[in-house]
């Protein structure tokens, strides 16, 4: 019986022919590439090997975005003690701190996020918020990943609770960041989105260059930083926004995994160093909306920081692990606003409520509106040479 063609081919023979054909094609590609390179028509760049940390002789290793950390001590067994924040993490070889972005390589501590921001945006300065700081201007906002807190309400938890390999990042060293700020003509560079404490070296290196270039430097933080790094960074800082998340140690521990005493000390040091300071209190229903605590917080601010530090009460919206809670009632924010004013704070605003009257800043003496804001938009600014035109009293801030 004659054989009939069926199109069938033995799988082993088919695979062998495929391998021979692919080998021929690969050889031709390689030969063509060599000829083109020789002729100078193309350039091929092979990935450089990742350098070994213990062999590094540079402060920053661009290939992997590492920089040797500041503020740490060697311990027995190649462990290290990180002295950057309130946690004082003891980290074994190969381990990371609670922030997820500081790692022990062979007995030395490194930052994993230097020059590697995950977010870079130009925003209105009012979004920070810095409301007494060149109103109506823009800032270059930068964030990486990681945080030393575990805030249950965090709106940026995809950044703050992430590790360096979880997200795509930019390659933006300090010098290029400052250059970008100059090109865009922004008021300042602001480290925000996640807490700048954990990317201290990136912030510090940028701050030094920014000051030399005449670019402002802002950072928005939870404030739980050790005193020595804080004072070092403040030398190059234009302004700071601190989240004072409540006035109860228990709430700080349970809701934010933080330490109130560190934050209060930070606030006093910032004022002592003469750096412009604004405070944000996110009012969360059932968590930190006790009016007795808000009164105690406001009185503490007046006593230890003075009556002219702006205080912003911000509206909570359900997020992250607190999606079961409602948004903050506006009447709660208005009550907090009234209590802070009664305690003697001169400049109190309400945020995250677009169009509310208390988005704006008022003259403490006359009650006239000094800066009219609708959310992040400045409608007008009547502050003249740092003074109220209605009473002549100074309005503290950075106006030029």
The mean pLDDT value of the chain amounts to 88
Distances, alpha carbon 301 to alpha carbons 27, 226, 344, 398, in Å: 74, 20, 9, 20
Domain contains 208: yes
Q: What is the pLDDT of residues 272-301, one digit of tens each?
A: 999 999 999 999 999 999 999 999 999 999
Residue pair 99/149 in contact (Cβ under 8 Å)? The answer is: no
The DSSP symbol for 125 reads G
**Are 104 and 166 part of one and the same domain?**
no
Q: How confident is the model at residue 187 (pLDDT cuts 50, 70, 90)?
A: very high
**Are 95 and 123 part of one and the same domain?**
no
The rounded distance, in Å, linking the Cα atoms of 174 and 210 is: 8
Q: 101: exposed, middle or buried (C-beta count within 10 Å: 0-12, 13-18, 19+)? A: buried
**Are 153 and 177 part of one and the same domain?**
yes
Q: What is the pLDDT of residues 53-87, one digit of tens each?
A: 233 333 444 444 689 999 999 999 999 999 999 99
CATH code where residue 343 lies? 3.20.20.70
**Are 98 and 151 part of one and the same domain?**
no
**Are 82 and 135 part of one and the same domain?**
no
Most distant pair of Cα atoms in the chain: their distance: 114
Phi first, then psi: what are they for 228, rounded to 5°? Answer: -65, -50
Q: 290: exposed, middle or buried (C-beta count within 10 Å: 0-12, 13-18, 19+)? A: middle
Domain contains 87: yes
**Are 214 and 84 part of one and the same domain?**
no
Q: 205: exposed, middle or buried (C-beta count within 10 Å: 0-12, 13-18, 19+)? A: buried
Domain contains 225: yes
The DSSP symbol for 33 reads H
pLDDT of residue 1: 36
Section 232-257 average pLDDT: 98
pLDDT of residue 65: 64
- The pTM of this model reads 0.84
Domain contains 353: yes
Section 20-36 average pLDDT: 45
Structural domain containing residue 101: 57-111
Domain count, the chain: 2
**Are 224 and 156 part of one and the same domain?**
yes
Domain contains 227: yes
Residue pair 77/91 in contact (Cβ under 8 Å)? The answer is: no
């Amino acid at each position: 019986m004659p054989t009939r063609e069926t199109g069938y081919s033995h799988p082993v023979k088919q695979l062998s022919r495929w391998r021979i054909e692919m080998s021929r094609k690969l050889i031709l590609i390689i030969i063509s590439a060599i000829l083109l390179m020789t002729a100078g028509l193309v350039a091929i760049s092979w990935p450089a090997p990742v350098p070994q940390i213990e062999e590094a002789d540079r402060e920053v290793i661009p290939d992997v975005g590492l920089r040797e950390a500041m503020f740490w001590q060697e311990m027995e067994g190649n462990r290290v003690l990180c002295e950057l924040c309130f946690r004082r993490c003891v980290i074994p070889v190969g381990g990371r701190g609670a922030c997820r972005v500081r790692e022990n390589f062979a007995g030395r501590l490194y930052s994993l996020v230097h020059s590697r921001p995950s977010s870079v945006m130009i925003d209105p300065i009012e979004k920070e918020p810095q409301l007494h700081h060149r109103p109506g201007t823009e800032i270059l906002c930068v964030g990486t990943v990681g945080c030393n807190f575990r805030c249950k309400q965090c709106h940026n938890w995809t950044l703050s609770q992430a590790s360096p390999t979880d997200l795509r990042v930019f390659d933006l060293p300090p010098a290029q960041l400052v250059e970008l700020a100059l090109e865009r003509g922004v008021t300042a560079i602001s480290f925000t989105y996640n807490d700048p404490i954990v990317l201290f070296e990136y912030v510090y290196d940028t701050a030094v260059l920014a000051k030399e270039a005449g670019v402002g430097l802002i950072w928005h933080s939870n404030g739980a930083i050790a005193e020595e790094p804080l004072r070092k960074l403040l030398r190059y800082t234009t302004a700071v926004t601190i989240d004072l998340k409540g006035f109860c140690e228990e709430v700080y521990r349970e809701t934010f995994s933080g330490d109130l005493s560190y934050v209060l000390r930070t606030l006093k040091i910032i004022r002592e160093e003469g750096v412009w300071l604004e405070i944000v209190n996110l009012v969360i229903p059932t968590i930190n909306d006790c009016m007795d605590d808000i009164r105690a917080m406001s009185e503490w601010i007046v006593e230890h920081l003075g009556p002219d530090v702006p205080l912003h009460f911000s509206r909570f919206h359900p997020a992250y692990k607190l999606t079961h809670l409602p948004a903050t009632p506006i009447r709660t924010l208005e009550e907090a606003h009234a209590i802070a004013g009664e305690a003697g704070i001169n400049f109190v605003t309400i945020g995250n409520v677009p169009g509310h009257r208390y988005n704006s800043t008022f003259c403490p003496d006359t009650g006239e509106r000094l800066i009219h804001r609708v959310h992040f938009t400045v409608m007008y600014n009547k502050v003249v040479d740092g003074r109220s035109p209605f009473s002549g009293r100074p309005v503290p801030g950075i106006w030029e």
